[in-house]
A and B are shown apart, each in its own frame.
Chain A
Amino acid sequence: MEVNFNKFSVKIKKELKTTSGFDNEKFWPVFMVSLALLLMVSFGPDLIEFAQAATGSVALNVTIASTLTFNMDATTKAFAALTPGTPVQATSLLWITTNNAIGHNTTIARASTTATLSSGAQTISDNPSGNNWTAPAATSTTTGPSATWANGTTQGLGFRVVVSGTDIGTGASTTCGAATGWWGATDDGAAKFSGVSTSSSAQKIADCNQYLSGGGGQTVVYKLDTPTTQAAGTYTSSPITYTVLAN
């Protein structure tokens, strides 16, 4: 049997229902706006990208040699007069700018194989809490020979690198490469100190393994306390050398 569809038509009739809870006149605008919003939220960036014109491209290659700038705020640091049992502090600000893609590392060593601070034959220990800094092979979470400073108990000359992202005053960048496993998770009660490494082997204190366009800073804090039996006098130091090299 053949059916001639030309003889039939579909009639759509809108049924008028006044009892419906939904306003029939508002349905289609709400529907269209909802659909548009969903499409925008879900595919917005793709639609924009899709709409953008196609472009040609050319690849250029250039090798830029690495350079490094290393500045320090001063060549000497003075502590306030020390009363044994009440530690005193001083800081050194290091500022490094390099275009090396994998950043730079900073090491510390004292010039003398004996103590950093001395007054004639008298010396101040470089082993606060029995620690003298030797860098572990790995950074970040690996711990090294450093410990928190117990005021009144810890004695000697110690140092640490500030770990917080604090603007140290030169430029806009922050402390880079100071491992919390080495110097403590924070710069307050959890701060860890160690002794300045001996001259025979410079030790890494920070490893900033990234390129920072504006440069990166490192703040070193020195902390000093002595036993009450420490001979009075003015103690001066053999130079503490900071070495910064490209990674």
Chain B
Amino acid sequence: MDKSFKLTIFIAILFSAQFFIGLFWFHAAQAKIGFTIFPAKLSLEVNKGSEYNGVIRLTNDGDDKTMVLADVQDILPTSGSSGYSYLPKAPGITTLVDWIEVSRKPFELKAHQTREIPFTIKVPADASAGSRFAVIFVATGSLGGGGQLNVSARTGTVVLLTVPGDFRQTGEILNFRAPEFIWKRNPITFKFDFQNTGTVYFEPKGTIVVTNIFGKKIVNIEVAGNVVLPTGMRTLEAVWPKPSWLLGIYKTHLAISVTGKGDVATKDAVFYALPFYPSLGALGILIILIIAGWYVKKNFQFTIIKKE
């Protein structure tokens, strides 16, 4: 083979390689990326000096294989709201970030492949009682350089950890809202803001008792719990799905309780009810009865006669 032929072959191979690499980049850049993570949230209670071994199941929902990188960050509750922010390490000598052990070595995950990521939480023997929060992140690496805007996806397992001991589990109900006036037989929604004033997270569960003006209990509505972090506040609601027809003044008593401690917060509210359609019906019946009476009086003659 002469030199020019070899050069032609080399250039052809080079161009082919460039073409296929380009195709790969284009496909990879346009392909869907994503994860399914289980569990998305983990509520744990681990004693001082103990450890918890867990597993996160991660599935690559993307169209292509991807590199996955695990990381752990602390969660800081946002005071006065249900939100939180996360940061590499929260203020403090040791935080949950220091207690969670997970491999930070990147690994490849094929399309639709599932992998288990083991992790361990080691609570020091001298840890103080209370709650701590962190996220075990898994992130897909951006391919980078393939376009003007490069985007990457990240998700993770939120870890809510409580170290048992002498902690404060208190809260306050703010702004308990019942509908002021009810005239239809639709589901009734009660809302309230719950402020966690304690040192641990908890799910404020409780009941709303509705009584009529005579003090008779009409219904017991369950308040399902949703996590409220310390210093945080969350708007919660409870629904009376199928109320009976209500008439008059009703009192509602909301009580949030903690297992073993009874009610930690209570609040009352009042609402009024006048059922529109039954009232309309009763009025209609009354009008019809009056018309009927008038008709009978006008068209019939009543006489009392003595029998022979």
Residues of A within 8 A of B (CB): 6-15, 17, 20, 22, 24, 27, 31, 34-35, 38-39, 41-43, 45-46, 65-79, 90, 92, 95, 98, 100-102, 104-105, 111, 116-117, 135, 137-138, 201-202, 204, 207, 209, 222, 234-247
The answer to whether the Cβ of B34 comes within 8 Å of any Cβ in the partner chain is yes
CB-contact partner of A240 in B82, B140, B149, under 8 A: B149
Q: In the complex the two chains form, is A138's CB within 8 Å of B81's CB?
A: yes
Chain A neighbourhood of B224, CB < 8 A: 101
- In the assembled complex, the CB of A235 is this many whole angstroms from the nearest CB of chain B, namely 6
Interface size class of B (residues with CB under 8 A): 35 or more
| A-B contact list, 10 entries, CB within 8 Å | A8-B304, A13-B303, A14-B300, A66-B40, A70-B153, A74-B33, A74-B151, A76-B150, A92-B151, A137-B78
Is B147 close to A, CB under 8 A?
Answer: yes
Helix, strand, loop or mixed for chain A's interface? Answer: mixed
Task: Kindly report which residue of chain B lies nearest to residue A37, judged by CB atoms.
Answer: B284
B281 touching A41, Cβ below 8 Å: yes
Main secondary structure on B side of the interface with A = mixed
Smallest CB separation, B120 vs chain A (Å):
19
Interface residues in B34-75 by Cβ distance below 8 A to A read 34-41, 61-62
Q: Could you say which of A9, A31, A239 contacts B151, with CB atoms under 8 Å apart?
A: A239
Q: Is the CB of B150 within 8 A of A240?
A: yes
A137 near B80 with CB under 8 A, answer yes
For B36, B150, B291, B302, the residue with the greatest tally of chain A CB atoms inside 10 Å of its CB is B150
Query: Least Cβ distance of A45 to chain B in Å?
Result: 7
By a CB distance below 8 angstroms, the chain A residues around B40 are 66-68, 98, 100, 104, 245-246
Q: Is B281 touching A38 in the complex (CB atoms < 8 A)?
A: yes
A98 partner residues in chain B, CB cutoff 8 A:
40
Known A9-B304, A15-B300, A201-B85; judge A243-B281 contact (CB<8 A): no
- Roughly how many angstroms separate A15 CA and B301 CA in the complex, as a whole number? 7
Provide the bound-state CA to CA distance between A237 and B29, in Å. 14
Known: A10-B303, A10-B304, A204-B83. A242 touches B152 (CB 8 A): yes
Partner of B32, one of A13, A39, A74: A74
**Closest Cβ–Cβ distance, residue A93 to chain B (whole Å):** 9
Contact B61 A69 (CB under 8 A): yes
How does the 8 Å CB contact mask read for B130-149 relative to A, with 1 for contact and 0 for none?
00000101011011111111
A74 and B30 contacting across the interface, CB-CB below 8 Å: yes
Q: Which B residues between 269 and 285 are near A, CB-CB below 8 angstroms?
A: 277-278, 280-282, 284-285
B281 contacts across to A, CB distance below 8 A: 38-39, 41-43
**Do A69 and B34 form a contact, CB below 8 Å, given A41-B277, A46-B245, A244-B155?**
yes
Contacts A66-B39, A78-B149, A236-B150 given; indicate if A71 touches B61 (C-beta within 8 A).
Answer: yes
Shortest 3 CB-CB distances between A and B: which pairs? A42-B281, A76-B147, A71-B34
Contacts A243-B154, A243-B155; A71 near B288 (Cβ below 8 A): no
Among A45, A72, A116, A204, residue most surrounded by chain B Cβ atoms (within 10 Å): A72
